[in-house]
A and B are shown apart, each in its own frame.
Chain A
Amino acid sequence: AQSVAQPEDQVNVAEGNPLTVKCTYSVSGNPYLFWYVQYPNRGLQFLLKYITGDNLVKGSYGFEAEFNKSQTSFHLKKPSALVSDSALYFCAVRDINDYKLSFGAGTTVTVRA
């Protein structure tokens, strides 16, 4: 079985400060890891993914994420947050030999001006 944990329901930061959203995962084989963002009343949009290779992956809108195999973590980061980054963020994992994508419960990010 595979699972994802996002330990923080909410993250609040001031605009211009660094933003980190935490994610840990569990999967029996090798993982594919994803971050998605959801704006109010919209579907989920893909941000970035880790497949293999460099542990630091870069994605859309200035976001990046660091894969740490020993800690089974895939934290999302942005060096300087914007008010427009306020949204609901989901981490997801899939075993490379499976179809099914499992999601965390989500973290609401609020960036104050």
Chain B
Amino acid sequence: NAGVTQTPKFQVLKTGQSMTLQCAQDMNHEYMSWYRQDPGMGLRLIHYSVGAGITDQGEVPNGYNVSRSTTEDFPLRLLSAAPSQTSVYFCASSLSPQRGRFNTGELFFGEGSRLTVL
């Protein structure tokens, strides 16, 4: 009963370094997404995917890349970290809204990954 699993939980980077935040879900959800949470700004959508091989940008995509090679995994890559990317990152998944009128697309969240960029 794992749900949505994120790794690592904590990471400290230096400016310019690269890293990947991992996200995996075992609920066979088509939809997966990445949010960042900053004080006073709520959660902002970075990227999302509606199925394997399909990704799209959210509100704040700059500085981040994603890929979706399998239904289960949706990694988030920071190519050259900047202090402005210091944040808490959440991965979330849901069934596709196209599953039918009774599927409401309720999101299931991971526990979060706290990233500090020095």
Q: Is B41 an interface residue (CB 8 A)?
A: yes
- On whether the beta carbons of A34 and B106 are closer than 8 Å, the reply is yes
CB-based A-B contact count at 8 angstroms: 62
Q: Measured between alpha carbons, how far is A99 from B112 in the docked complex, in Å?
A: 21
One of A41, A43, A97, A106 near B97 (C-beta < 8 A) = A97
- On whether the beta carbons of A49 and B106 are closer than 8 Å, the reply is yes
Task: Count contacts on A: residues with CB < 8 A to the other chain.
Answer: 27
CB distance from A43 to the nearest CB of B (A): 4
- On whether the beta carbons of A96 and B42 are closer than 8 Å, the reply is no
Chain A, residue nearest B102 (CB): A51
Q: Which B residues, 34 to 64, have Cβ-Cβ distances below 8 Å to chain A?
A: 35, 40-45, 48, 50, 58
Chain B, residue nearest A41 (CB): B112
- On whether the beta carbons of A104 and B109 are closer than 8 Å, the reply is no
Q: Which A residues, 20 to 42, have Cβ-Cβ distances below 8 Å to chain B?
A: 32, 34, 36, 41-42
Q: Which residues of B contact A34 (CB under 8 A)?
A: 106-107
One of A45, A46, A104 near B42 (C-beta < 8 A) = A104
